[in-house]
Amino acid sequence: MASIQKIAQGWRAQIKKLGVRDSRLFATRREAVTWAAQRELEIVNRAKTPLPDQHTLRQALRRYADEVSPKHKGEHWEQVRLSAFEFYRLPLDLPLSQITAQHVADFRDSRGTKVGPASVRREMNLLSSVFESARLEWGWIDENPCGDVRRPPPSPHRERTITTREIRAMLRSMRHGQDVKTLTQAVAVCFLLALSTGMRAGELCGLAWARVFDDHVHLPTTKNGRARNVPLSRRARRYIGLMRGFDDTLVFGITTRQLDALFRKHRCMLGLSGFTFHDSRHTAATMMAKRVDVLTLCKIMGWSDPKMAMVYYNPSVSDIAASLG
C-alpha cells in the first residue's frame, strides 16, 4: 500500500512493492496518488515478465563491453567490434530468449557478403561469448543460439614470410641507421628485433627495461597466458642497445596501434603489399628453424604444441631445393 504524506515541500508518495522501494515528491496529493498507483502496477507487471524477456541483445552487447571486455588483452578492438554489431543485421531490440539460431545464421550470411570467412568466424565467436555470459553469469537466457549455427570453415594458415628485399626497403623508408629519435625509427628497430626473436607486436610494445637481462628478456604475460623467457642473440642485444635513452620505462615507447599504423604507412608508401608486421614472426621462425631443432624452436616461440612449428615454418620451395644440394 502506498504512503502519501504532506510535508513542507508538498506531498511525498512512498511505495514498497515486491521488495522494491521508491518515492517521489509532488505539488498536489492527486499527483502523488496517481504516480503511486502507476508505479505499483509497473512493478507488478515487471515481476510477471520472465527474466530473459527483460533484456535485449543490445543490452547484452553493451554490458559485455563494459564488464567483460576490460578483462581481455584485446579490450579496445573487442569493444570496437561490439559497437559495430549495433549496425549489423542483428535483432538488437528483441528479447534474448526470442533470438534463434536462424537470426544468427542470417547475421553470418549477411556479414559473409562483406568480409572474409576468418572475420565472420571471429565475429561469431565474439557474439557467442556474449550469449554465454548472458547464460552462465547473468542468468538472462537458458540456451546459446550460436551453438546450433555452423561457422565458416577456417582459412588456410598464412605462409607469408617477408623477403630480404622487402625488409631492406622498409628499413630505408623508416630511416633506420641513424640515431633513434622518432617513433618511426623506433618502429624500424622493433621490426628488426621481431625478425630476430619472433616476439609479437604486443610483447615488443609492452617490453619494459626492467625485464631486459644480459642474454634474454622476460615476458610476464603472453598470448597464451604463460610467462616466457626469450633468448637474445648478439644481434638482438645490439638492436635493444640502440633504444637506450629513447624511453625511461619501455624499450620502444610506442603502442601497438602506433606500431601498426606506421608500419602500414611505410609499406603503402613503398607500394608493397601482402605482408603484415605479424609476418615477421613467420619470418623469424623460418630463419631460426635452420639453426635450432624443433623443440628448441617451440621453446623460443612459446608454443606448447610442436604442430605450431608447421604453421610458422614457411620456407620457399627454392630454399628447400637449395638445402637438398
pLDDT (tens place) for every residue of the chain, 325 residues total: 688 889 888 888 888 887 778 888 889 989 988 988 888 888 787 766 655 567 899 999 999 999 999 988 778 889 999 999 999 999 999 999 899 999 999 999 999 999 888 899 999 999 999 999 999 999 888 899 998 899 988 777 777 889 999 999 999 999 998 789 999 999 999 999 999 999 999 999 999 999 999 999 999 887 777 889 999 999 999 999 999 999 999 999 999 999 999 999 999 999 999 899 999 998 998 888 888 888 888 888 887 777 776 767 666 666 666 666 6
CATH topology of domain 164-324: hpI Integrase; Chain A (1.10.443)
Q: Which residues pair with 217 in a beta bridge?
A: 212, 230
Torsion sign (Cα): 73, 78, 80, 83: negative
CATH class (in words) of the domain with range 57-148: mainly alpha
pLDDT at residue 174 in the model? 95
Identify which of 161, 192, 187, 190 has the alpha carbon closest to the alpha carbon of residue 174: 187
Q: How far is CA 70 from the centre of its chain?
A: 10
Q: Of all helices (H) and strands (E), which one includes residue 22?
A: strand 20-26
Task: Measure the CA dihedral 181/187/191/194, to 10°.
Answer: 100
pLDDT at residue 224 in the model? 73
What residue has cell string 557467442? 128
Q: Are 53 and 95 in contact (CB under 8 A)?
A: yes
For residue range 228-251, what is the model confidence (pLDDT) as tens digits? 999 999 999 999 999 999 999 999
pLDDT at residue 310 in the model? 72
Q: Are 289 and 305 in contact (CB under 8 A)?
A: no
Q: Are 95 and 108 in contact (CB under 8 A)?
A: no
Q: Show the cell assigned to 59.
A: 543490452
Q: Give the single-character DSSP code of 24.
A: E
For residue range 264-290, what is the model confidence (pLDDT) as tens digits? 999 999 999 989 999 999 899 888 888
Residue 254 CA to residue 263 CA, distance in Å, equals: 12
Sequence letter at residue 62: R
Relative to beta strand 216-219, strand 228-231 is antiparallel
Q: Give the single-character DSSP code of 250.
A: B
The domains of the chain are located at: 3-48, 57-148, 164-324
Q: Of all helices (H) and strands (E), which one includes residue 16?
A: strand 10-17
Residue 128 CA to residue 105 CA, distance in Å, equals: 12
Q: Are 309 and 294 in contact (CB under 8 A)?
A: yes
Q: Show the cell assigned to 168.
A: 631492406
pLDDT at residue 154 in the model? 77
What residue has cell string 556474449? 130
pTM summary value: 0.63
Torsion sign (Cα): 69, 157, 203, 294: positive
Distance in Å from the first CA to the final CA of the chain: 94
